[in-house]
Amino acid sequence: MEVLALLIPVSLVLGGVGLAAFFWTLRSRQYDDPEGDARRILRDEWDDRPQP
């Protein structure tokens, strides 16, 4: 059971990383144009204007 002392913090940190990534996507307005982003990624021209 000693492994718990390691596993629980690890799982919490991983979850925290996910949460931080979610906050980042929210902050950088990545949900503003879901349809456009889905299409842009399939274009064969080089997108030299990615979102910052």
Q: Which residues bind other proteins (CB under 8 A)?
A: 1, 4, 8, 11-12, 15-16, 18-19, 22-23, 26, 29, 31-36, 39-40, 42-43, 45-46, 48-52
CA distance 44 to 33: 19
- Residue identified by tokens 């799982």 is 11
- Residue identified by tokens 């059971």 is 1
Q: How far is the CB of 15 from other proteins (least distance, A)?
A: 5
> Do the beta carbons of residue 1 and residue 7 sit within 8 Å?
no
Q: How far is the CB of 45 from other proteins (least distance, A)?
A: 6
Q: Which two tokens stand for residue 26?
A: 């929210």
Pick 6 or 34: Cβ nearer other proteins: 34
